[in-house]
Amino acid sequence: MSYKRWVLVAILLFGIGLVFGLATPTSFASLISEDIAAIEELGGILASLPSALTAIFIFVKNASALLLSFALSPILCLTPILTLTVNGWLLAVVSVMVSQEKSPGFVLAGLLPHGVFELPALILGEAAALSLGTVVILALFKKERRSLLLPSLKQNLRYLMLALALLLPAAIIETYVTPLLLT
């Protein structure tokens, strides 16, 4: 399957997560309020650090998650599938909660500036993980598919590098621009 189709699969999985997040009852969503409080506490800690360290932390955290998903993708593609659906679900649940507390404009101001880089990075990176994972799984069962392993790895590493490159401006914008829009 072509990489473009894997991108569409990744978008579909993320969209499924979004739909489930929007359909999650507010009472259930409140169960994650403790987790959100912990994230806010981490945000407070990061705010006390020099901005450059905050940007580096955000980049390393996001890049590590993407690299881990890529590395674990041959295990039935579970990690990229879960990463896409859970991230879509969390984005929707938290967005609904914040928009009820603040406003939809506040949510958009907090997400759009860095999200225009971070969401494509997530989609592109996880599409590469899905593609590689599928090729590895198929190669385990079909000897004739084994010759596709190295070319697939090389191609998907290029897409992964592109995704990682997109995470850098996302981290910088999230550190320097997003806080200005939320004050």
Q: Which residue type occupies 160?
A: L
- Is the per-residue pLDDT at 34 higher than 80? no
Contact indicator for 14, 85 with CB cutoff of 8 Å:
yes
- Is the per-residue pLDDT at 104 higher than 70? yes
86 to 17, 67, 112, 175: CA distances (angstroms): 6, 17, 19, 23
- Is the per-residue pLDDT at 28 higher than 90? no
Neighbours of 117 (CB within 10 A): 20
What pTM, to 2 d.p., does this model score?
0.91
pLDDT band at 42 (very low <50, low <70, confident <90, very high): confident
Average pLDDT over residues 137-157: 95
- Is the per-residue pLDDT at 139 higher than 80? yes
pLDDT score of 48: 79
Q: Which residue type occupies 87?
A: N
CA distance 3 to 88: 21
pLDDT score of 29: 65
- Is the per-residue pLDDT at 88 higher than 70? yes
CA distance 26 to 84: 22
CA distance 133 to 22: 29
Average pLDDT over residues 111-128: 97
pLDDT score of 19: 97
- Is the per-residue pLDDT at 68 higher than 70? yes
pLDDT score of 43: 72
Query: String of b and e for 101-115 (b: at least 16 CB within 10 Å)?
Result: eeeeeebebbbebbb
